[in-house]
Structure 1
Amino acid sequence: MTLEPHAPMPGKSFFRLRIGIVLQLQALLALAISLGGGGVAYGLHNLAIQLFALTILAMNRGAVVGFARNGPRWLLVLVIVTMALPLIQLVPLPSGLWQALPGRELVVASFAVLGLEEGQWFPVSVDRARTLVAFCGTLAPATMIVLGSMLVLPDRLRLVRTFIVLALAALLLGIVQLGSANSFGLLYPITSKPDVLYATFANRNSTGLLFVLALALLVASPIPHRREWLLASVGAGSILAVGVIITQSRSSMVLLAIVLAFTAFRVVSTILKGRRGARPVVNPAGILAGVAGLGILLAILGSAAMGGRAADSFERFTQGQTDRPEMWEDGIYAAQAYWPVGSGMGTFDEVFQVYESLEYVSPRRAGRAHNDFIEIAIEGGIFTLLLSLVWLGWSARAALGNSLAGAKWLNWGAGVGIGCIALQSLLDYPLRNQSLLCAAALLIVLLAPLPRDAT
């Protein structure tokens, strides 16, 4: 059956198919968050997620066709271009063409050393295997976007709640890890610090960002009518906020401040909510959330003042020593060497070492640029930078321009989440693991227009 998301709903068969898609996407989120936080170094974990994503696509071929025919045009184009870019970089080019591309002198020299024929065809990518892996990395988030964007609002809310529960489960695992000073329960063989919360990630910045995104979506979710659920939501938000601080990720703590400002905006809006022209009314839910938020703030400040874990986290802001500026300088130089076409998606680690300045060389290997915009400029040149700007522009327009009833706050929350990812990308590489890629895809789903017949 060919499913068209903007066509009239075909009754019970559509309902069963829609529920099936929701369950499959929930499973994909669970698999991604539990296995996908280690990045490219853990290929088998990523492979399991990607194969599951392909299985979901194969089981819902009609839905994929429906998205291609009737999905939001700009979103469809962005998904296709994003997935096609690494594949285009793998297309072999005539020797005269690829050798004329910037930065290919070392490739030509390597061919000469190996005694290979000078007239061999070669792609834009200087490492085909790495670029193929980069393409495979788009499969899971693309699956989330293609299938999720055709869901109605209640189904999207189910995905949001699943994501929040998974983030809380990851936080619970992190608490178990901390209880053993990170000697037990870590999912990746990393050099860990005993007082840092890693949860299901190999990078504490990614851990902190996961909690930030979950908190943003929790704040943006419809306010529960039952008091016990409202208390549970406030408690979950409090735990997520404290979890961000325990990760000791400075970038995530800055992003937490943005989400807390968004929280305050929602609380004030709820308190003052009323009919047009009428006196503002006081909403008990808003007051309860405001009091709880003030209590959390006082608890965090108290912990910081008494030298607790919050104090250890905030102390990191006084530690200004970092080698990021040196990596950025060398990264910009490498990007200029391959400008404007880039070296191939996923090839940063192969090409950066060639351009690393001797005065900046240290025992630690710079496997990432710690600025994803610089890194994609190296790998994809002007094309990836423009593509990123279009994605951000589409997200901003969708977050601010959707006025559908019931979706306004979710759109704003998703927009805040996309903004947080973009900001952390200035200092880190949040979208280089499957967990946060699928989280970002969920945010895109929330920003996608609802089906015309959705209520």
Structure 2
Amino acid sequence: MMKLIQRPVTQLQILLVLAVLLGGGGVVYGFRHMAIQLFALALLALNAGRFGDFVREAPRVLVILVALTLAFPLLQAVPLPAPLWQALPGRDLVVQAYSVTGIDTQSWFTFSVDPLRTLTSFCATLAPAAMIVLGWSLSQEDRHVLVKTLVAVALGAFLLGTLQLSSANTFGILQDIDAGPDVFYATFSNRNSTGIFFVIATITLAAVPLPSGRLWPMLAAGAGALMVIAVVLTQSRSSMTLLVLLLAFVVARFAASYLRSKRSGVLANRRPMIIGSAIVVVIGIVAIVASVASGGRAAQSLERFSQIDGDRLEMWDDGAFVAKRYWPVGSGTGTFDEVFQIDESLAYVSPGRAGRAHNDYIELAIETGVIGILVLLAWFAWLGWATWQRRNDADRWLAFAAIVSFTCIALQSVLDYPLRNHAMLCIAGLLVVLLLPAREKSA
């Protein structure tokens, strides 16, 4: 048992389960996040040698990107002498606040306007960093284990969401939220995060090799159909739109498998599996269509596409103004909610707080300025390059699944904030691992 727990793949399985179970909410769930972060720190401490191997042997660009992502919020929390921090854009408001409260304006202050929020953001990077540092050297078999763990966790979340929905969300909700009675939440507090979680789980399910036997493809098709239904039940318009990418990936994967089977002469043996899997998928589609036709929950989901969300446009307008105030250095990672309230337009103000910009690119520009945008572009470039490098590998479909999943995240980030919870951050770390060449045997 101890030997099993000492294996990196087992440790990462536990981290993944813990993140999805406890990390689907926002920053207000401090103790849950602390549990995930402490576990990630413990993994890094127990695997100090592997951390050293990552620094020395992992692809240089990846090591640099991980180091920059970890270091940037820490540097923003370093105190600076008064002439330096007061010269930064937007810090005149801090000087005024110091003057009103009687604090010496010549005292040292951090780059970030709220260092505690920035340190909190740094702590959120520990779990995905542990996933990448320990996962980069895993064997192909161990990576398959992690992907199957993600699918198993998604199916468990589906069961929880079904239980919640059957009680009109009066039972089993894991977060303290004002849950709508007809929305599928599972382990998340945000319908959009729930939706993209199931989209990514289905994409990776379509890519992972299945055990031999005629039953497994039909079981996988059934699991995928259930997760697609879950996406529809979230009523998340962005996630339902991403089903187009999921469908395109599944079709491409099926076509490639079909052509390979045809060339190798084993198509006849696989025909029952193909027909059975197709039947399962058709049943899922029929269930959704029937729900729409009868005015059921699927119909309610589709109705949301006719609703125009003006609040987002107003937040983007105000967010662009805030970004200009702190450009080009930013206000500090994690400080959006504090700085946005100052410049929120009276024409757009409402009883509730924005909390997020509902556009992660605007929020990133506000908090990190030009450096954060450049680091993001560097990540995009590396993701594309890593995928290109894997295009001819035997396990290339998992790499393709990873880049399609990252595309889903990038697209939803225009309207929401998919990477602002621990669950999705850990999954993103797993996707990075899938883009790296697998080793013959885990280090």
**TM-score over 0.5 for the pair:** yes
Contact 1:272 1:280 in 2 (8 A): no
Cα distance, 1:386 vs structure 2: 1.1
What is the deviation of 1:210?
Answer: 0.8
Q: For 1:307-327, what per-residue CA distance to the aligned partner results, in whole angstroms no more than 9, with x for missing partners?
A: 121111111101113310000
Report the Cα distance in structure 1 between the residues aligned to 2:69 and 2:33, rounded to whole angstroms: 19
From 173, 179, 187, the counterpart of 2:166: 179
**8 Å contact from structure 2 (residues 26, 421) kept in 1:** yes
Q: Equivalent residue for 2:303?
A: 315
C-alpha contact 2:402 2:435 (8 A) present in aligned 1: yes
Larger mean CA deviation between 120-129 and 404-413 belongs to 404-413
Corresponding residue number in structure 1 for 2:424:
436
Per mean C-alpha deviation after superposition, the further-off stretch among 154-163 and 382-391 is: 382-391
1:101 to 2:95 alignment? no
Match of 1:240 in 2: 227
So what's the TM-score if we normalise by structure 2? Answer: 0.95
Amino acid of the structure 2 residue aligned with 1:146:
V
For residue 119 of structure 1, give the secondary structure of its aligned residue in structure 2: coil
For structure 1, the residue ranges without an aligned partner over 5 or more in a row are 1-15
Give the structure 2 partner of residue 13 of structure 1: none
- Residue 76 in 1 paired to residue 75 in 2? no
Q: 1:111 and 1:369, CA in 2 relative to 1: closer, same or farther beyond 3 A?
A: same
Q: Distance in 2 between matches of 1:183 and 1:275?
A: 51
More displaced 10-residue stretch of structure 1: 136-145 or 293-302: 293-302
Asked if the contact 2:139/2:440 (under 8 Å) is kept, the reply is no
Q: Write the distance in 2 (CA, Å) between the matches of 1:138 and 1:391.
A: 15
Q: Does 1:121 align with 2:108?
A: yes
Give a deviation string over 1:156-208, Cα, whole Å, max 9, x none. 11000001100110111011011110001111111111111111111111111
Pairwise CA distance, 1:279: 8.9
The structure 1 residue matched to 2:293, chosen from 284, 302, 305, is 305
Q: Which deviations, in whole Å up to 9, do the C-alpha atoms of 1:251-291 show, x marking residues without a partner?
A: 11011221011111111222222577x89956524444344
Counterpart of 2:141, as a letter, is P
Q: 1:59/1:329 Cα in 2 relative to 1: closer, same or farther (>3 Å)?
A: same
8 A Cα contact 1:72 1:449, kept in partner = no
The answer on whether the counterparts of 1:141 and 1:441 sit within 8 Å (CA) in structure 2 is yes
How many Å separate the matches in 1 of 2:401 and 2:72?
A: 29
Of 38, 45, 66, the match for 1:51: 38
Secondary structure of 1:359 counterpart: coil
The answer to whether the 8 Å contact 2:222/2:281 transfers is no
Give the superposed CA RMSD. Answer: 2.0
TM-score, scaled relative to structure 1: 0.93
Matches of 2:277 and 2:60 in 1, distance apart? 39
1:388 correspondence with 2:412: no
- AA aligned opposite 2:89: P
Identity value in percent: 52
Query: Do residues 345 (structure 1) and 333 (structure 2) align?
Result: yes
Aligned to 1:360, the other structure's residue is in SS state coil
The match for 2:129 is 142
Shift of 1:304: 1.1
Q: CA offsets, 1:34-74, max 9 Å, x none?
A: 00011111010000000000111111111111111111111
| Cross-structure match for 1:335 | 323
Q: What amino acid sits opposite 2:75 in the alignment?
A: I
SS in 1 for 2:149: helix
Contact 2:204 2:401 in 1 (8 A): yes
Correspondence for 1:420: 408
1:257 aligns with 2:244: yes
For the pair 1:193 / 2:184, whether they are aligned, the reply is no
Distance, in Å, in 1 between the alignment partners of 2:162 and 2:142 is 31
CA apart distance, 1:299: 2.8
Contact 1:177 1:199 in 2 (8 A): yes
| Separation in 1, partners of 2:66, 2:181 | 40
Q: Is the 8 A contact 1:220 1:409 kept in 2?
A: yes
Q: Which amino acid aligns with 2:355?
A: G
Pairing 1:226–2:204 present: no
> Number of residue pairs matched?
440
CA 1:275–1:454: 2 relative to 1, 3 Å: farther
